[in-house]
Amino acid sequence: MALDEIKIGGMGARRRRVEDNRFIRGKGNYVDDIVLQGMLHMEILRSPMAHARIKSIDVSKAYEIPGVRLVLTGEMMAARNLAWMPTLSYDTQAVLATDKVRFQGQEVAAVIADDPYIAKDACQAIVVEYEALPVIVNPLQAMASDATVIRDDKENQPGNKVFDWEIGDREATDKAFAEADVISKMELHYPRSHPSPMETCGSIADFNRATGKLTVYMTSQAPHIVRAAVAMVAELPEHMIRIVSPDLGGGFGNKVPIYPGYVISILASILTERPVKWIEDKTGNLISTGFGRDVYLKGEMALRKDGKILGMRMNTISDHGAFYADAQPSKFKIGLMHSTFACYDLPAAHLTSTGYYTNKAPGGVAYRCSFRVTEAMFFQERMIHAAADDLGMDQAEFRRMNLVKDDMFPYRTAFGFLTDSGQYEKCLNVGMEAIGYSTFKQEQEEARKRGKLLGIGISTMTEPLGAGNSREYDILGIKMFDSAELRVHMTGKAILRTGAMNQGQGHQTTWAQIVAHELGIPADDITVEEGDTDTAPFGMGTYASRSTPVAGAAVAMVSRKIRAKARKIAAHLLEVSEEDIEWELGRFYVRSNKERGVTIQDCALAAYSNMPDGMEPGLENNAYYDPPNLTWPFAAYFVKVEVDAETGVWDVLNVVAVDDCGVRINPMIVEGQIMGGLTEAYAMASMQYITFDEEGNCIGSNYMDYLLPTAWETPGFELHEVVTPCPHHPIGAKGIGECATVAGPAAFVNAVVNAVSHTGVRNIDMPMMPNRVYEALTTGKDVSGMPPVRISE
């Protein structure tokens, strides 16, 4: 009898998360939980200034404090050629400042002491003399012809420009605009935000002089990349470096880059010959580590009277901070911004992008998104909303007309991506039904008569998840494949290791479900391990929703290799030829006699005790998976709001989210991912942003100033499911971790703009704080979120 797949925790089972048992009991093992014999503690002194020349650093008072073992400065790093390090975007970044500080919070010195209290006291005793320089806090200042050059350390640096980049067909787009009946425009700012994982960054470096081995426990979403980078930067042999990422308290893209703190702790351990622990505080995390977004987006759309989109052109100006440390595939300067409008049948498109250095923290990371697709899709859905309004068309019908139809797949987008599957219109219909779209306009009019402002917002999108195929995607030249290694023990239990890195996604739970699906081994019988570069196979880590599309595929593929070998063993045990064997979940049987069979566990035991003549013993294998394409999930989100006309406060009345992420491995985990993403979308729309004053002071360096929504204000979400399997993924799954963060914000903004559109307002920049909404309502003008900085005329 075949096994019941749900009972063994296979595909589709709402299996409880294996991880939660230890987390909710306080038995997790985070970097800060690790205590090594003789461990010292490191604290970083950060710059209070956003742009200043360092005239002198006096550390003598710090050394007077008992318990201080070592004080590191940029000069000492430079003596070992470690003052600068490469970034993931082929730039360089200061480890400890030598010449200048270039953003508030930059690392200036580090104290290594017997305990963290002493280290912090000693940091306060270090005297740094700064000479203030003009501060640049946005690209508009950076591009001025007389702007101070932030990166004067680089040769041939043209002002503060990081890059110019373009993609698409300029000529075809110009032609589309020439033929347009209506041209619709949109301009907005996607504000800087911070991923804010609950656990900050940290490391424990442990260099053993006797063995020559360096072990670093680290908060990294991509430990294998770190090992490669450390090998190159620190010039240590790769086999003598072991990077271990234990449990991570969230990542959201923030833990992809390699931060100065990690590098300093490594040198500190080498110099002191003691383990050195560095745990960043919350403020350090917020002001110095990889931010998200901070892009000015401007574009226009060529439209035919009847609503058909003819073309789109778009320009982005991005603020990268002091070092270009975006974590993204190397071929693309502004991530996958050109995935914008991928769900629409768009004949012609052109994108130009320019990046600038500013005196702000570096590291435009993919904050819960696949490399800038959040900005891309937000612009798309704001532009679509405005275009429908300009045409006087219904929001849903305008989308329906222009969405790629089911029979058009595979569909080549105007920017060259190949979308391969989806049922966009069905998702739209499911959402419209659930939110009560057909009666909304009437409801809205009646409410207006009673002085109530209701609004509805839609956001539909497909996004490229799961980078990616080796033709197009690499980081620092390393192709973005991933891996899995499966070892089945003789009693039929197993251990699975992958090159991905769990940080809340539930890999321990879902990977085992894939193995259960492929082999019929109960999920509870499978251990999943990740994050130790000495034991796990090489992989590019977890971000950009790539785990299931890439590593998850490798898990399925390695399971199939195991099954192929088990089949040979089964034939041997059943004394028939392999061709006469059939498979059902968990069991091989003889085709002519279904009663005669052996289980996968029987085969496992035989692999160690009774293998066929000439067969290599054991039952283990590995798989490296290079995906043929990205995966393309689809989202259709609907938000209904009510705006208080006297205060600008808006309340969410209803959120409907329809997601098609293909086959769901564990529906409960998928739903959790969507709800988490919707919460972050609501956060961006309502309150979450980091801004800077004219002096470059970060307004948002703590959780009283940088607002994250709590359960208190987060609205409820109604989730719906449509399933279109991914045609190329071995189990038909698509990425899902980030759809809601990406598609969500526009649904909220569109809803609020819809509620106040009778005043003529077309855009309110995020976050839509009550004062901004009130301003829009009372002035009838768009509200720009341009940072509150005076731009000199």
Partner 1 sequence: MYPSRFGYESPKTVEEAIAILDASGGDAKILAGGQSLVPMLKLRFAAPEMLVDINNIDGLRYINVEADGTVRIGALTRHEDLEYSDELPTASPVLAAAAHLVADPIVRTRGTFVGSVCHADPQGDWAAAMTALGGHIVAQGPNGKRTIEVKDFVIGPFQNALAYNEIAIEAVIPAPKGKSTGSYLKLERRVGDFATASVAVSLDMVGDVVARAGSALAGVGGRTIDATDAVASLVGQKLTEENIKTAAEAVAAAAEPRSDHRGTSDYKRQIVKTFVIRILTGLAESSQKVA
Q: Which residues have a catalytic role annotated? A: 221, 368-369, 738
We find the least distance from the C-beta atom of residue 354 to partner 1, in angstroms, to be: 27
Residue 270 vs 649, nearer CB to partner 1: 649
Q: Least distance in Å: CB of 720 to partner 1?
A: 28
CA distance 587 to 678: 41
List the 241-244 sheet strands across, edge first: 68-73, 107-113, 40-46, 276-279, 202-208, 213-218, 241-244
CA 150/CA 94 separation, integer angstroms: 13
Choose among 672, 649, 646, 650: nearest CA to 659.
672
Nearer to partner 1, 128 or 349 (CB): 128
Residue with tokens 């580590």: 289
Q: How far is the CB of 115 from partner 1 (least distance, A)?
A: 9
Closer residue to partner 1, CB minimum distance, 65 or 231: 65
Output 511 or 682, the one with its CB closest to partner 1: 682
How far apart CA 259 and CA 408 sit, in angstroms, is 44
* Apex 544 CA angle, 543 and 546, nearest 5: 80
374 by DSSP, 3-state: which? helix
Q: How far apart are CA 730 and CA 739, in angstroms?
A: 21
Closer CB to partner 1, residue 176 or residue 777? Answer: 777
Question: From CA 184, how far away is CA 305, in angstroms rounded?
Answer: 12
Q: How far is the CB of 625 from partner 1 (least distance, A)?
A: 42
Quick one: tokens of 374? 């959040």
**Cβ distance 352 to 424 under 8 Å?**
no
**Least gap, CB of 649 to partner 1 (angstroms):** 7
By three-state DSSP, how is residue 176 classified? helix
Q: Pick left, alpha or beta for residue 282 (phi over 0 → left; psi -120 to 50 → alpha; otherwise beta).
A: alpha
What is the rounded distance in angstroms from the CA atom of residue 224 to the CA atom of residue 1? 42
Q: How far is the CB of 285 from partner 1 (least distance, A)?
A: 14
The CA-atom distances, in angstroms, between 307 and each of 54, 254, 311 are: 58, 40, 12
Cβ 226 to partner 1 shortest distance, Å: 27
**What would the DSSP string read from start to end of 428-473?**
HHHHHHHHTHHHHHHHHHHHHHTT-EEEEEEEEEE--BS---TTT-
> Minimum distance from CB of 448 to partner 1 (Å)?
19
β-pairing, 453-462 vs 634-643, is: antiparallel
Half-sphere exposure of residue 75: CA atoms within 13 angstroms, side-chain side: 7
Query: Nearer Cβ to partner 1, position 125 or 551?
Result: 125
Q: Please report how close the Cβ of residue 788 comes to partner 1 at its closest, in angstroms.
A: 7
> Which of 111, 297 has the CB closer to partner 1?
111
- 217 and 269 Cβ atoms separated by less than 8 Å: no
The dihedral through the CA atoms of 589, 496, 738, 355 has a sign that is negative
Query: How many Cα neighbours within 13 Å face the side chain of 713?
Result: 15
CB proximity list for 146: less than 8 A, separation 6 or greater:
none
Chain contacts with partner 1 (rule: CB under 8 A) = 43, 116-117, 120-121, 124, 283, 646-649, 686-687, 691, 699, 702, 704, 707-710, 712-713, 769-771, 774-775, 788
User: What torsion do the CA atoms of 74, 79, 83, 88 make, to the nearest 10 degrees?
Assistant: -170
